[in-house]
Amino acid sequence: MGKKNKLERFAECKTFDNLFEYSFERIKEEGFPLKGRWHEFFGNDNPIVLELGCGKGEYTIGLAKVHPDINYIGVDIKGARMWVGLKQGMAENLKNVAFVRTRIELIEHFFGENEVDEIWITFPDPQILKARKRLTAPIYIERYKTFLKPDSCINLKTDSDLLYDFTLDVVKDAGYPIVYNYNDLYANDDNLEVKTIQTYYETMWLKQGLTIKYLKFKVQ
């Protein structure tokens, strides 16, 4: 994507009323007004599910269409990619979708205690050389626990053996109950909804013969 297109997308993103973009400085000074009050934005008390590192928001949008009675929020720092999900959400008039543009390191500033019901982490950067920056590292899971309800689930979908094995070790070391654990998601006949929504990259990797890993666990 050219620089001009990126700038145009950044500019258009600022016009969407379901995108929230706060700098660390602003959060530090003012706080985030919807923290603990997201039900006011959505106009209901339905469950809230996050997609972290959402990219184009393919899972956010896909799940929101399947479950209109659940509110979905995509979180990422790359606004030009997020533009795709924002445009689709607006075009399809999805009232249960929102996006937050921020670094995941700041995620706890946007959600209040017991406000979030579930997390999806779909094909994140495996951070080959920086284990502490992996979105399933203990330091991040502790952040998520500040706003997740008790016994809430975290879903990881990845093509990375490194990230899958790392996360499995984190989960086992912490004693978190495992709900699903597939080192090759599509090699079984289980009728799981997780198979029905595929990102662009997931489709591409499947065509290349790569295996997709899926891990769902509860945090306590």
Dihedral (CA of 139, 163, 116, 79) sign: positive
d(CA 106, CA 104): 5
Closest CA to 200 of 97, 99, 58, 60: 58
3-state secondary structure of 3: helix
Catalytic residues: 125
Eight-state DSSP code of residue 188? S
d(CA 116, CA 132): 23
d(CA 6, CA 185): 34
d(CA 56, CA 22): 19
Distances in whole angstroms, Cα of residue 92 to Cα of each of 68, 112, 170: 12, 29, 38
List all residues 6 or more positions away from 218 whose beta carbon is below 8 Å from its beta carbon: 151, 152, 153, 154, 176, 177, 179
Closest CA to 141 of 164, 112, 121, 162: 121
